[in-house]
Structure 1
Amino acid sequence: MKKFYLVIFLLLGNISTGIGRELISVAFNTQNEQISFAAGELKKELYYDGIQLRLSDLSQVMEIPNITVVVKGDYSLFFDDIIEDTDFENIGPEGFKIKKIKGGRSIFVLSIDQNGAVYGLLDIGEHLLSKRDINEYEARLVNPAFEYRIVKFNLPWSPYRSSAATEVHTHISRDISFWERFLDMMVENRLNVLSLWNNHPFPYMISSENFPQASPFNDVEMEEWKNFWKTLFRMAKIRGIQTFIVNWNIVVSPEFAEAYGVREYNDLSETVKKYTKESVTQLINEYDDLTGIGVTLADWMGNFGEMEMTPQKREEWIEETFVAGMKAAKRPVKFIHRSVLAGDPVAMRNLIDRADLKDPALVEIKFNWSHGHSTPKLAITHDYHSGELDERFWNPIPHNYRIQWMVRNEDFFILRWGQPDFIREHISENTKEYVNGYFIGSEGFIPAMDYSHKLSPVKTWQYAFEKQWMFYKTWGRLLYRPDTPDSYFIDQIERRFGKGKGEPLFEAYKLSGNMPLRLASFYRSTWDYTLYSEGFIEAEPSSRTKWFDRSSPFISVDQLINHETLDPDMVSIADYSKMVGMGEKLGPQKISPLKLAELSESDSRKSLELIGTLYNKTSSFSGALVSELDDIATWSYLGLYFADKLRAGVALQDFRNTGDESKKEKAVELLEKCLDHWDMVIRYTSGRYYPTPHVSTQRYGEEFKEFSWEQLRPQVVRDIQIAKDSIINSDK
């Protein structure tokens, strides 16, 4: 029986081009747009490393090449005697298999879809860039760990929260050249879904047929918007990236509210229902390359007493608008149903059952609420039961939807971060039958304009996501393949910064990257502003306590002492001091504040030692390497600060419980050391970073309108005075 395949060849040999370049002949079905694009991009990349690709159509193949990439589905009689149907067994969507024949001299890369073919082709390219010798490329079977590897990207227009930190990105986020680079980064890191979020997207995407005054734009302006969206979705599709538009509810544009006599938020009128349903249908019909649409049961569905909506009523509103609009469209699309505070699993399951979608729905659940970069243990979610885990989302196992963990990052926006060991542990801990993906991204940070870093010779990047390259690389690659070895990341560092720098820099990344994870695990937080680990800030409390100091967003020593932990294995300072005073022993799995301090200090000092050797190898031509080292140094001194502040908190609480003056003296001494560590943080940041707009601190007035470590120094000094002024607990 005839077989049908798409074939790409790379005919490898040491053929001189006359300029000393290695020539590799690449043949493929040029009718396949996605693989043609990937091959063209790879050709450009390899060219600068002395490797030239010769691209040609499959019809020109005269003999078996050295490297052949085969996607099951296209016709090639030439390989009927070599490739069998059984060769494609165990290859999953977006996966590929390496098969060697003729003693290993000929390599076949097999896949069952276009993305798998592209990833296989890029894998070959990475090997050539790193090892040069194609004979070292080994047989393997690679399947992605998760079907959906999703970037959450908040749009700066109609934003969920308006602020200077959002508005600064408006121009760049409409620049196609920015999106070209961002999408290329996603492909490189095997991130396969771009989800775009804002309050109310429709006025920026369609001219409503029955509600023409919904949009503030004239015909020319609207055409410009449509060209932008169609170009973006087309660019994503050609790269194998799915696109989703996700919005909050219930919201209409200010122009719609004024023109049609409704409220901008929380309006249940038939007018708003009709407009929303028709907008969903029109959006799908006008944008052929859009993969899907998403909805979040959010703050404007009766959460704050403005109107009463039960979870069932919220789902019914979604059914009458979004689901009905999808059903009326000319083609089926995928559906994201976000599970947040306003949601209930039973009502959600009933909605998805009635929707009878072609593809399983995507149900996003926030992992540890807005601070997923914490413990890999699932401690809280953001659902109808106010953070308590509700297993009804996944028990019984759903048949028409799967869950994607949202690992939100509201904890570091300025400093670079990449901790692959944490990501691997997170994946290992949370890979379940009912989970098929992850979201990564922020609410308070848009990775477009890098507005924090001052211009200097070390600033060799243009966009914020390029500076945070290790964040996207570790998350993306490990979500695709959790067994990606450390050697891969080390190779990537050495390609950027030169031989000999990869291993120490990578190890320093891992060690210093533990600091924000430990703080977020120790200091339990819920919504966005309840923690900003990078700045040691709690702008709003997770729970109302007398220890929350509204005079500043900084986490004081008293707040650190009395706050509950997120990780169930960690013990708070207040609880630990009480247990020690009563002679109680910690269980073997428990982590005391002093043990956490020991870990934080050890990692920080090791990290500083590693980058110390790298600083000695830098010069005025080292570019971004210097900035990378400075960020790691900053994390390391924050880690030392955290360690001594934990110790100071224990000593201070012991004094309050026992009256032992030596404990008070020790607390003051440790907090003075904390000031030294903070001054080192300032030293490594004040000359490089502008005071940066940060939405979580703006409610504290002009003093905290912008974030910097330097502006918080008086709060660090204040901790010393808090310790000096402390008295014995009155109940002792």
Structure 2
Amino acid sequence: MQRQYTFFWLFLLISFPRSVFAQTKGEKKQPIVVAFDTTNKPIRFGVSHLEKALQKAGQSVKIMPISSGSSSDAITLRILPMKSEPSLREEGYRISYQTDRLLITAINATGAMYGAMDAAEQIQMGKPWKKLPPKTVNPHFTVRALKVNLPWSSYRTGPAMEVHNEVCRDLTYWQRMLDQMAENRFNVLSLWNVHPFSFMVKPTNFPEANNFSDKEMADWKHFWTDLFRMAKERGIEPYIVNWNIAVSPEFAKHYGVQERNDTSAVVKRYTREVVTQVINEYPELAGIGITLADWMSNFKTDGSTLPDMTPKDREDWLEETIVAGIKAANRPVKFLHRSVLSADPGEMRRVIDNANLPDTTLVEIKFNWSHGHSTPVLALTHDSHSGQRDDGYWNPLPRNYRVQWMIRNEDFFILRWGQPDFIRRHIAQNTAPYVNGYFVGSEGYIPAKDYSHLDNAHRTWTYAFEKQWLFYQLWGRLLFDPKTPDAVFEASFANRYGLKSGKLLLEATAAASQMPLRLASFYGSTWDYTLYSEGFLAPFTASKGFQDNVSAFISINELIDHQTLAPDYMSIKDYVNWNQETKAIPNGKISPILLADQLETDSKTVLTRVEQLRPGSSPTLICELADLEAWAYLSQYFADKLRAGVALHTYRLSQNKAQQQQAVALLTKCLTHWRKVSEITASHYQEVPYIEGYRVKDKASMDARYFSWTKYLPQVERDIQLAQKNNTD
């Protein structure tokens, strides 16, 4: 992301007076002086972590502001050209020493904040402040974004969204969210809903766009203003992102237009003007994003049709509304142009070129559609070519935009997850000159109110993202610096639970977290509800295999007759056919049997580590261990179901009864595994809403409106019955 910044050379100096080093026994210990620009809020945020770490290490701390002609104990802040610090980039920092002083050097406030937090982290890990290893750290990616959907005017609807309304209007929630984002080095908060504008302003020429009273509008204005301010104070850029073409229900009713996909002159004018007004009224809003699909098709909300919009039509609409609104504002903002179903790289380039915006445009592309937690290989995208990769977005290399991979997570919301090596592999494999970052987040889940966990002694957190703390720490820290060692995450476990070492916990979590990655790589899926890995559900078909329309649960028949997502995985059908033809498995291919062995190894690792960790554990750590056990038995379930699938399909081709008996025996073991999952999860989780109501149209999706593992025991038993038959009915 190219930015127009004044660059700074910033020193954070921590020093002892020399007398401290020569103090005698019984002499009063002098405080450590931490001097910095105390008016700079991002730096203050970072220094607060450093102060706490020093105090916890037994040191007293004295905070001093910068003053002209300050002593060597002060931060020296000078405006310098970037060339004076060629080794540092924006948000980068250097830790070094000058005689007996610790220096943290950066060229902007966010970099200094990160440097202070790095020093604090090392001190918490037991390193003396005078012996921190010198280092220079620059961000690997300039865009490290969280995707958070809003529950009002929400894209998905129903109880899973509505349950968050109160929490998401509470600024305390956002403060905690922003704190963890800054600590984890995220620098963009993207807020998503269908039509955000009428919740932000009373449009000057279209006051009927909402029916809020003056008091209600003032409350909304206070909410957004404080939220954006808090983000800025933590080095985070707030974006609002919507789906085109949409207006509020009040606007549609007053002007007699459709809420979705209405291209009339009044909607076009309103959209352009409201974008400008929002930018002008919220000076700390950093960016606006749009998508070209969803409401830009050939249907109205009443079921009638409109002439289809071509890619050029869609881009023209965007140019005449969103881009025009941005350019008419009294200040620049950044622009996020999503690449999805109805985009065309040539038309997109035309609009971005014509816009001639001062900052680099963001072009977000869904990585493996809605299931980014799968294979790190880009197997499919969400664009106009039905999921096929279109290198027109990056070939030739764009000059005024960069791509960000969207890692959507529709695969685990309840059980804790953390697999650092997967993220490192993902970054290594998908870093390119045209890529400057990642977005991470969900469509069908908001990490706000934790509505899945029972209220018991386990629960020591307030918000859902706090329970999933490792997920955010891993993605944020590794997107900033993929070289961040496991020792950092092990220390987080140790500090959280008072352990001597967090190594065993991280090993167990990493092994447990392979299960949803392996399932999403094996069971090829596309949009949100075509796979829910932790539940072993596929409520809607992804056009990649047979669906029995009996239940959302992935039956043994559906597992057999399904294509893979990862190109190095073999489906059950392909593997059995190769065996029947006595062909050698191609080099580099992962067969269902090899995958099953990997899952079983993961499970054994998890269960061994859990038994080592369980004695003397706190209630919350017991809760973490229960999640790991659940993953372990899900891994065993998946492993034996793969083996059963191979045996059952072999029997159906060969009529070898021994293969059928083996399949039945393995599926009986699967029932034992699922009962363990059910028992463990029922001890601290309750049934939760999953699929939104209007999506439920048939038997396969009906039973997924609400989810618990116990609910699907009959479907696990049904697999045994299917294997006992002579056909696939």
Q: TM-score, normalised by structure 1?
A: 0.93
Aligned to 1:664: 660
In 2, the alpha carbon distance for the partners of 1:62 and 1:351 equals 51
Aligned to 1:695: 691
Partner SS state of residue 60, structure 2: strand
- The counterpart of 1:624, out of the listed 571, 596, 620, is 620
In 2, Cα distance between the equivalents of 1:708 and 1:20?
60
User: Distance in 1 between the 2:31 and 2:557 partners?
Assistant: 66
Paired residue type of 1:11: S
- Corresponding position of 2:601: 602
Quote the residue 1:565 is aligned against. 564
8 Å CA contact retained: 1:198, 1:246:
yes
CA distance in 2, matches of 1:666, 1:483: 46
Tell me the SS of whatever aligns to 1:339: coil
**How many angstroms does 1:58 deviate by?**
1.8
2:725 and 2:329 map into 1 onto residues whose CA distance is: 68
Aligned CA distance change for structure 1 residues 108 and 552 (closer, same or farther; 3 Å): same
Name the counterpart of 2:117.
122
- Equivalences for 1:172-183 in 2 at 5 Å? 172-183=167-178
Residue identity matched to 2:273? E
Task: Please give the residue correspondences for 1:232-381 in structure 2 after superposition, counting only pairs within 5 Å.
Answer: 232-302=227-297, 306-307=305-306, 308-381=308-381
The number of residue pairs the alignment matches comes to: 709
In the alignment, structure 1 residue 73 sits paired with structure 2 residue 68? no
CA contact (8 A) 2:141 2:480 kept: yes
Q: Which residue of the partner structure matches residue 77 of structure 1?
A: none
Match of 2:3 in 1: none
Structure 1 segment 22-421 matched on structure 2, within 5 A: 23-40=31-48, 42-44=50-52, 47=55, 50-59=58-67, 63-65=71-73, 73=79, 88-102=85-99, 105-302=100-297, 306-307=305-306, 308-421=308-421
> Which residue of the partner structure matches residue 473 of structure 2?
473
Q: 2:373, 2:407 within 8 Å by CA — same for their partners in 1?
A: yes
Worse-matched range after superposition: 90-99 or 353-362 = 90-99
The worse-fitting range, judged by mean Cα deviation, of 31-40 and 374-383 is: 31-40
- One-letter amino acid matched to 1:166: M
SS at match of 2:269: helix
Structure 1 residues 312 and 71, CA, compared in 2 at 3 Å: closer, same or farther?
farther
SS at match of 2:165: coil
Q: Specify the alignment match of 1:537 in structure 2.
A: 537
Q: Secondary structure at the match of 1:372?
A: coil
Query: Which residue of structure 2 aligns with residue 482 of structure 1?
Result: 482
Q: Tell me if structure 1 keeps the 8 A contact 2:10–2:105.
A: no
In structure 2, relative to structure 1, the CA distance for the partners of 1:501 and 1:675 (3 Å cut) is farther
Q: 1:22 to 1:505 in 2, by over 3 A?
A: farther
One-letter code of the match for 1:677? H
Alpha-carbon deviation of 1:623? 3.0
Counterpart amino acid of residue 663 in structure 1: Q
Alpha carbons 2:225, 2:282 under 8 Å: kept: yes
Q: What is the CA distance between 1:303 and its match in structure 2?
A: 5.8
Q: Which residue of 2 aligns with 1:506?
A: 506
| Kept in 1: contact 2:54–2:60 (CA 8 A) | yes
Q: Deviations for 1:124-159, whole angstroms, at most 9, x for unmatched residues?
A: 111222224123311111001000000000000000
Distance in 1 of aligned mates of 2:407 and 2:83: 38
Q: CA 1:653 to 1:98, structure 2 compared with 1: closer, same or farther past 3 Å?
A: same
In 1: Cα distance, 2:517 partner to 2:295 partner: 31
Is the 1:249–1:296 contact (alpha carbons within 8 Å) kept by the matching residues of 2?
Answer: yes
Task: Say if 1:72 and 1:111, in contact at 8 Å, map to a contact too.
Answer: no
Name which of 630, 637, 657 aligns with 2:633. Answer: 637
Q: CA RMSD in A?
A: 2.2
Distance 2:426 2:266 in 1: 45
Does the 8 A contact of 1:522 with 1:564 survive in 2? yes
Measure, in 1, the Cα distance between the counterparts of 2:202 and 2:30.
Answer: 53
Instruction: Give the deviation of 1:32 after TM superposition.
Output: 2.5
The 8 Å contact of residues 380 and 388 in structure 1, kept in 2 or not, is answered as yes
1 CA distance for matches of 2:276 and 2:471? Answer: 36
Distance 2:151 2:68 in 1: 49
TM-superposed deviation, 1:728: 9.0
Contact 1:522–1:567 (CA under 8 A) maintained in structure 2? yes
Query: In the TM superposition, what is the alpha-carbon distance from 1:586 to its structure 2 partner?
Result: 1.2
Residues 4 and 208 of structure 1: is their aligned pair in 2 closer, same or farther, counting only changes over 3 Å? closer
Give the 3-state SS of the residue equivalent to 1:449 in structure 2.
coil
Quick one: structure 1 residues 303 and 129, their matched pair in 2 at CA, closer, same or farther if it must change by over 3 Å?
farther
Q: Deviations over 1:705-728 (max 9, x none)?
A: 310000011000000000001349
Q: Deviation at 1:344?
A: 1.0
Deviation of 1:57 after TM superposition, in Å, equals: 1.2
CA-to-aligned-CA distance 1:280-304 (integer Å, 9 cap, x gap): 0000000000001001112110166
Counterpart CA distance in 2 for 1:429 and 1:152 is: 22
Q: d(CA) in 1 for partners of 2:257 and 2:77?
A: 53
Pair 1:581–1:406, CA change in 2 (3 A): same
Q: For 1:314 and 1:64, how far apart are their aligned partners in 2?
A: 59
Q: Is the 8 A contact 2:592 2:643 kept in 1?
A: yes
Q: 2:379 touches 2:567 (CA, 8 Å); kept in 1?
A: yes
Alignment of 1:444 with 2:440, yes or no, is no
CA shift for structure 1 position 544: 6.9
Percent identity over paired residues: 50
CA distance in 2, matches of 1:27, 1:553: 59
Change (3 A) 1:303 1:389: farther
Q: CA deviation at 1:458?
A: 1.1
Q: 20-29 vs 238-247, which deviates more?
A: 20-29
**Distance in 2 between residues matched to 1:489 and 1:45, nearest whole Å:** 17
User: Which residue is 2:719 aligned to?
Assistant: 719
Shift of 1:4: 7.1
Report the equivalent of 1:8.
Answer: 12
One-letter amino acid of the structure 1 residue matched with residue 67 of structure 2 = S
Letter aligned with residue 669 of structure 1: A
Deviation at 1:703, TM superposition (A): 4.5
What are the superposed Cα offsets for residues 7-56 of structure 1, whole Å, 9 maximum, x if unpaired?
4322247699x999983211112332332343345435654554433111
Cα distance in structure 1, aligned partners of 2:196 and 2:321: 15
How far apart are 1:86 and its partner, in Å? 7.1
State the Cα distance separating 1:273 from its structure 2 match: 0.3
On the 8 A contact 1:71/1:114 being kept in 2, the answer is: no
In 2, distance between residues paired with 1:151 and 1:591?
33
Partner letter of residue 651 of structure 1?
A
* Paired residues of 1:71 and 1:117 also in contact (CA < 8 A): no
Q: Distance in 2 between matches of 1:573 and 1:363?
A: 37
Is the contact between residue 250 and residue 301 of structure 1 (CA under 8 Å) also seen in structure 2? yes
Q: Deviations 1:92-117 (Å, cap 9, x if unpaired)?
A: 11001223333xx3332221111111
Q: Give the equivalent residue in structure 2 for 1:433.
A: 433
Deviation at 1:70, TM superposition (A): 5.7
| Other-structure match for 1:80 | none
Which amino acid is 1:631 matched to? Answer: D
| Partner residue, 1:526 | 526
**C-alpha distance in structure 1 between counterparts of 2:186 and 2:518, whole Å:** 26
The CA distance in 1 between the partners of 2:53 and 2:330, in whole Å, is: 40
